[in-house]
Amino acid sequence: MFEPFGRLWKQAPFRSTYDAVIVGGGLHGLATAYYLAKNHGVRRVAVLEKNHIGYGSAGRNTAIVRANQRTQENIPLYDEGLKMWPQLMDELDFNLMFFNCGNLNLAHSEAAMGALRLQVASAQYLGVRSELLDRKQCKELIPHLNISEDITYPVFGGMYHPPGGTVRHDALVWALAKGASALGVHIHQQTEVTGIAVHRGRVTAVETSRGTIHTLRVLNAAGPWSVLVSAMVDIRLPIHVLPIQAMVTEPLKPFLHHVISSGAYHCYANQSLKGEVVTGAHMDPWISYGTHVTAHYIKHQAEALTELLPCLRGVKFMRIWGGLADMTPDMAPIIDGNDPIEGYYMDCGWGYFGFKSAAVTGKYVAEYMATGRCPKILQPFRLKRYEENRLLGETASPPQYGPWN
Amino acid sequence: MKRLPHSPTQRIDTRHPLPFSYGGRLLEGYRGDTVATALFANGVRIFSRSLKYHRPRGLYSLDGESSNCLMEIDGLPNMRAEQVPLRGGMQVRPQNVVGSPERDLLGFLDAFHWAMPAGFYYRVFHKPYRLWPFFQTLIRRAAGAGTVNPSWEPGRYDELHFHADVCVVGGGPAGMQAARAAAQTGLRVVLLESRPWLGGFYDWRTVEHHGTPLYERGRHLARELESLSNVRVYTSCTATGLYGDNLVTAVQEGGPDDFFHQRYLEIRARAVVAATGCTERPLVFEHNERPGVMQPGCAHRLARTYGLLPGTAAVFSVGHDLGLEAAADLHDQGLHVACVADCRSDGQDPQRIAALEERNIPFLRGWVAARALGKKAVEAVVLSTTEGSATRTISCDVLAASAGLTPLTGLFSLARLPLSYDERTGYFLPASLPEGLYAAGRLVGYDDPASIELSGTAAGLRAAVHCGALDAPRADEALTELQDNHRVLRGSKLVLAPGAGARSFVCFDEDATVKHVRQSVRMGFDVPELAKRVTAIGTGPSQSGIPGHNLPLIMAHLRGESAGTLRPTTVRPPLKPTLLATYAGLHPDIHKKTPLHDVQERAGAVFRRVGVWKRARYFSSDPTCRDEILNVRNNVGILDGSTLGKFRIFGPDAEKALQRVYVGDMSRVPAGKLKYSAMCTEDGCLLDDGVATKLGENDYYFTTSTGRAGATVEWFRFHTRHEDWEYYLVNLTDSLASINLAGPKARDVLQQLTDADVSNDAFPFMGYREFRLKGLVPARVLRLGFVGELSYEIHIPSSMARTVWQWLLEAGRPLGIRPFGLEAQNVLRMEKGHVIIGQESEIRTTLIDLGLGFLWDRTKTWAKTVGAPALQFAESQEGRLKLVGFLVDGSRPPLDGSIVVDGSIRGHVCTCRYSPTLDKAIGLALVDDDLAALGSRLRIFEPGDPPEYFDARVVPTPFYDPEGQRMKC
Ligand SMILES: Cc1cc2nc3c(=O)[nH]c(=O)nc-3n(C[C@H](O)[C@H](O)[C@H](O)COP(=O)(O)OP(=O)(O)OC[C@H]3O[C@@H](n4cnc5c(N)ncnc54)[C@H](O)[C@@H]3O)c2cc1C
């Protein structure tokens, strides 16, 4: 127990043929590889990562998990995902630090209360715990919350979701890599996919910076870069890649016991097990693959947080970082396969909410790739929905203004 | 502890004692002290306990490179005592200890370090899962340094935003020369220095350069600079960020005479000069952070700046001539220097060695500290040859140790410049700098005073060239001079002392050792960015302060590679942890008020923020607004609609532009009449609605919803960007106020204010007129019916709004006029079945889904109407959500956001209210199209514990006055 870990994932030989190739060593890619091997006996799987695993959003997110989404197409997937953490910790034998602290989402107007009520109603109706609180109840839950009238957006009430919380993001990357590798999956880092060969409407190989790999199944799990990978097979994705930032304060003794978020203030915060207040997330509204940060965001965040939680005035920001969010028009992912190219699958467009769903989605995408049939739970996320002008209802307002986690 | 006799290098003022308390004890320091030096003067040696192992930690450096001196100061946790200037009456307390730093009950944890390998937390506590919450609580309690103080009241937090030509970061000799050189070309220069004074490395040194002691030279340069009128110097001011286009952010600590506590600065500079210098590269050996181990520079400055001898007997283990200089000088100050070891086998300045010899200080070349002995403080040190072939133990109470120098490259990291290894200096530096960013001084490896100053001048001149204040050749001259004379450091290459392992700390903040790094390499985390994640190295408050450039060197060493194969981890803003209060600064609450804000406030309005505006929502404490509603239905009400978007568009192609963005045919707007139309997104989804009227040929006046007013000009321009059209679009939203006068008696009120004929025949429904009110105020009057009654929307110059509001109230008083707010309007319009965008629509709701398809003119295909193809596509699509009106069985309305269900979710309630006019609960809902037929039964689920179900029936809208008689009469 106290001896150090050995190598978490093996250094594997680079083969020229695999049964399935996964582009992207992020969470969705690793999870799919793990479940392909574990549940479907597909073990000759390669995960190709152009950098190191977890380099993308997997290593930059704030790891908030919840299942109080807005629509019946989304809730069941996230609900199952949320229930998986204890089991995953056991099965992967890795402490993923699931912190079931519950999430409080604040409303600052009558209209916002109505919008939250819709989410609470959908959750309750589908058996997910979620409730509306008035402002006094919010204060009882989070004694440091400022519910006075004299702030920019006075608190009206909130949506409390007890089963949610946070997970340690890196731990999930490593645990999945370890689990997949133990089952025979090859993880190739510093290996960039540069092309996908298609012959007569079906995938035959992928080109990489280290040579060609023959395969009949490819998953595009390249996160923010999924648009570029998709372009290799001439499929245009309705994804905007926007820079998104988050930051942490210095570590403090426990004082904030929930995830708290506010739409009007455009911020959320929670205290990690290590004691840092983790807070995000701002998206620049312009498209960019740069992971830069901006001066104004850190200032905005301080202004917002010191109004909501005045006790944070005497706390220091320690560092801010940037990542990328692959945003779809309806803030729901694109999960599809064999259409129009046999053997080409995609699991992308996860924006800023793809951490919490990674394991469960990987499980079903693996089933999809192993059987060729799309599991029912993933059917709402087809790419065609955009062509048919049938957006999912995950957001009522334009995508820039959601709960950002 | 007695201070050393006065020396001109000292920065303390012994005539000004300052009392303060530490952990309940009353102590005294002097003006000029930091909290840390004052504590040191009072004999405090253990300043804190480390995060994981609760090892004692002491004063190691003076510029905040580690968490060793984190304390609670005046109620604020995690303050760096070595950077906080002492003030009288300060309350200082140790933190994160059970007991005191000297006797911490958690100190036993240190004995269990073997049980906590890298990645330890990921291996344990999770099996069986049910025990995890218990351990989780323990982990949470153990983690975290300071404690939040909810009752802390911040003082004054100021902010400054300004432009400068050249921003120099770092006020050492290089930075001062850069500032001076740039300023002499006439540019506006700002200089930021973290310490309370300028001078950098010169400030405490008495060695002479060209006959002048360095400290004197430093002070001379500082005085010269401060006298220049185009240079602004900010001391106690640390640059925290460098962003695109040379936006520099900084944080300034207020001094005793400043009106602010801290200040946030944002400087937009044309050129930036980085002259941040070096700090000492920590020497990594066993127990390298025992109290008593400190950087040679720290020991030297304690004596020379603060008049404090660091101890009684010292051993030096250094890697740079500055360490040799410090040893000799401290000897002269009265410190017994038992031995000086230098890890370099050659290359020392002969003068420095001679100085040691003169003083009979034993000097060992190619030797290094390998282990500090002593439990709570250093008692002796084991010195070793660098290859470990021989050792020697020497008693001491101070071990001044460093591996050499390391540049403070934070700014380069913020500028996202890749760092690469420089063989000569052993520094990680960018291969090249982008235009507009220049570097000078020790930071880039210059080592002797002349080169350092010259490099500053050259950088300042190059910045001036960049700003266009100087011709390039002048700057080139300085560069050539520099190249001819420069001396670049040959840095020490030592990576680890022999035997460095389980207690050799690579990162003090996170208690991470060489052993942890080795384990992480073995686990596959073999580059610094990954090792950082699993060992937490560099994720503490001082980021890369201690591990910085050591980590890539150590990892390469452990992998058996040559130095420089790996890169340091990324340093991120803020370069110094910064209070949220400081970032929040003055934090004014920025919002817009309509010109009628104050009069409504006096009338008892309750305001809500709507986008950038504050708007009146209620005029009583009754949330149902019954009286406000009925008064509009029966008498007349008045509403401030000034936030409404108001625009004029004119020019030869104005009509074409309207045709492009509006779904209706805008050529068919007769003069004097209004046309209601909508704008859609490319998806055919409703974006905005409003009315337009024609003022003349290609000259229109139109309104938008409040929320879209700010985006309208951009929307027009975007959708006509490929056309060569000429039109002018003027946003009149703020210059015109709008008052909605509504109710059956509206005409009687309006007539009293004008001679114009406002009879139904002369000014019918959907008419537009311009006339003067009381012969004075020019008004544009729109006869509309959003709330379903006879109503006039009166647009007047904002400056006249209050007058007109008053006139209307006076005229209407006998008729029972009273103001109404947004919630009353919400119910009134709902009774009429009118939609509010965002309330009755989602982003995916098309015009047709809302039953507004009739607004779309499908004949004007030539106009390329935005959204038309999508409307055509989705027009006859099945399975979409449709907007319906419904009547609830019973009088209690389900709350907004309740859902329509029948085993699955089939839609939701957009708005539902009890209608006082109709005495029924009515609402609008978006439901699946197969439930949208008139007469369909809806089952509504309102969440709660327990939830409530409602039954309702789809009915036609409008609910109220379906023929529209009331607004047309
Ligand atoms: C600041 C921030 C905060 C967030 N907060 C949350 C949160 O609180 N909760 C939540 O649920 N989600 C959150 N997210 C979103 C979440 O992190 C992502 O949705 C999720 O990580 C997506 O996983 P992925 O596996 O699809 O992509 P990634 O993790 O980005 O992985 C994609 C990988 O593909 C690799 N790649 C790309 N192109 C190629 C190529 N051609 N060849 C080989 N490899 C390639 C990349 O290097 C990368 O490692 C946040 C995101 C950010 C940036």
| Domains of chain A, CATH where assigned | 20-61+169-238+333-400 (3.50.50.60), 110-160 (no CATH), 240-327 (3.30.9.10)
Tokens 């979620």 locate to A130
Pairwise CA distance, residues B503 & B514, whole Å: 8
Choose among B380, B342, B334: nearest CA to B359: B334
Cα B548 versus chain centre, distance: 24
Task: Give how far Cα B822 sits from Cα of A69, B120, B551, B787, Å.
Answer: 29, 58, 61, 11
Contact A393 B842 (CB under 8 A): yes
Among residues 703-762 of chain B, which lie with CB inside 8 Å of chain A? none
**B541/B334: higher pLDDT:** B334
Distances (CA, A) of B326 to B257, B299, B349, B443, B893: 34, 8, 13, 20, 82
Angle at B491 between CA B485 and CA B497, to 5 degrees: 165
Q: How far is A200 from chain B (nearest CA, A)?
A: 31
CB-based burial of residue B919 (10 Å sphere; 0-12 exposed, 13-18 middle, 19+ buried)? exposed
Cα–Cα distance for residue pair B187/B462, rounded to 1 Å? 12
pLDDT digits (tens, 9 = 90+) for B680-696: 999 999 999 999 999 99
Tokens of A299: 């200032």
Ligand 1-lining residues (CB < 6 angstroms): A 23-29, 48-51, 55-58, 60-64, 192-193, 221-225, 229, 244, 246, 280-281, 323-325, 348, 350, 352-356, 358, 405
| Type of residue at B775 | G
Taking phi over 0 as left and psi of -120 to 50 as alpha, with beta for the rest, A93 belongs to: left
Residues of A in contact with B587 (CB under 8 A): 303, 306
CB-CB contact of B28 with B86 (8 Å): no
pLDDT at B844 over 90: yes
Q: Which residues of A touch B78 (CB under 8 A)?
A: 250, 252, 315-316
Is B213's Cβ below 8 Å from some Cβ in A?
A: no
Minimum-distance ligand 1 atom for the alpha carbon of A194: 41
d(CA A23, CA A30): 10
Mean pLDDT of chain B: 95
Does an H or E element contain B713, and which?
helix B712-719
Cα(B766)–Cα(B453) distance, rounded to whole angstroms?
77
CB proximity under 8 Å: B 570-599 to A: 572-574, 577-585, 587, 589, 591
Residue ranges of chain A whose pLDDT lies below 50? 399-402
Please report the pLDDT score of residue A400 as a whole number: 46
* Cβ–Cβ gap B899/A59 under 8 Å: no
The single-letter DSSP state of residue B625 is -
- Tell me which chain B residue has its CA closest to the CA of residue A189: B524
Q: Residue for token digits 């999912």?
A: A392
DSSP B782-811: EEE-TTSSSEEEEEEEGGGHHHHHHHHHHH
Prediction ipTM score:
0.95
**If you average pLDDT over residues B614-637, what whole number do you get?**
97
Contacting residues of A for B243, CB less than 8 Å apart = 292-295
Residue A102 · residue A258 · CB < 8 Å: yes
Percentage of residues of chain B with pLDDT beyond 90: 90
Which of A30, A49, A61 to probe ligand 1 with, by most ligand atoms within 8 A of CB?
A61
Show the tokens assigned to A169.
């993001």
Distance of residue A24 Cα from the nearest chain B Cα, in angstroms: 17
Q: Does residue B765 register a pLDDT over 70?
A: yes
Q: Could you give the CA distance from residue A395 to residue A330 in angstroms, rounded to a whole number?
A: 6
Q: What is the pLDDT of residue B881?
A: 96
| Mean pLDDT value across residues B119-146 | 89
B148 contacts chain A (CB < 8 A)? yes
Helix-then-strand count for chain B, H and E: 24, 50
Cα separations in angstroms, B584 against A84, A107, A299, A313, B151: 39, 22, 6, 8, 18
Integer angstrom CA distances of residue B164 from B327, B433, B674, B774: 42, 20, 52, 53
Q: Among A185, A186, A229, A223, which residue's Cα sits nearest to residue A207?
A: A229
Please tell me the distance in Å from B879's CA to the nearest CA on chain A: 9
Q: What is the pLDDT of residues B259-292, one digit of tens each?
A: 999 999 999 999 999 999 999 999 999 999 999 9
For the segment B214-218, the average pLDDT, to the nearest whole number, is 98
Q: In the block, which residue shows the tokens 């920025």?
A: B590
- For position B98, what pLDDT does the model report? 87
Q: Tell me, what's the pLDDT at A2?
A: 62
Question: d(Cα B343, Cα B324) in Å, to the nearest integer?
Answer: 12
**DSSP class of A352:** T
H or E element in which residue B27 lies:
strand B25-31
Query: What's the pTM?
Result: 0.95
Name which of B408, B539, B572 is nearest A295 in CA terms.
B572
Mean pLDDT for the stretch of residues B577-593: 93
Query: Which residue carries 């952070």 as its tokens?
Result: B289
Question: Who wins on pLDDT, B448 or B485?
Answer: B448
- How confident is residue B32, by pLDDT bands cut at 50, 70 and 90? very high
Is B717 strand, coil or helix? helix
